[in-house]
Amino acid sequence: MKDGLRAAGEWLLARKGRWLPVVLLALSMFAVNAIARVVTVKGDFATEAQQLRIGLIATCAVGVILIGAAAWWAVRFPLGRILADFGLAGGLGALLSVVVAPLLAGSKPFAEGLGFFVGQILLFLGLAGVGLLLGFLAVVALGKDWKSRGLRRYEQNYRARPHRTVRG
């Protein structure tokens, strides 16, 4: 087990330019969810309104993280890579949040049933999709995305070239 984890860590460090941000985004989603669960259990928030408030705060925090990450990625990479990276990060973050976070809070992942489990995974994936959409659209609206910057450079290079006059 230790050798497998060590090999995975070495592989990740060797390719940290691509996969480290993906893993960090997934871990940040997991950390916010785990902290919210532990605060709810250890803080003895018994009423449903208090638990709902903590859940909404955690969801908003994850949303802000996802919007920021999408904006950061949109400036640097094309949309295909962003979709792949966000899909992996969202799936990994959802899986960690739904399987591991309940264990940290003293519960079981399937305590509320399979429907609730699948619903939580879909909620995380939907949240990742909305965060990606909002962050990407904000960067595109400002003209700072990868494609717009490339087109702007092309336009500047085209205008800088001397044009030949065609005589007929």
Report pLDDT digits (tens) over 46-74. Answer: 677 887 888 889 889 999 999 999 999 99
What confidence tens digit (pLDDT) does each residue in 97-124 have?
899 988 887 788 888 888 888 888 898 8
75, amino acid identity? V
- What local confidence, expressed as pLDDT, does residue 130 receive? 93
Residues 141 and 156: their CA atoms lie apart, in Å, by: 20
Q: Which residues lie closer than 8 Å to 111 by C-beta, 6 or more apart? A: 102
pLDDT at position 147 is 83
pLDDT at 18 over 70: yes
Please check whether residue 104 is in contact with residue 33, taking contact to mean a CB–CB distance below 8 angstroms. Answer: no
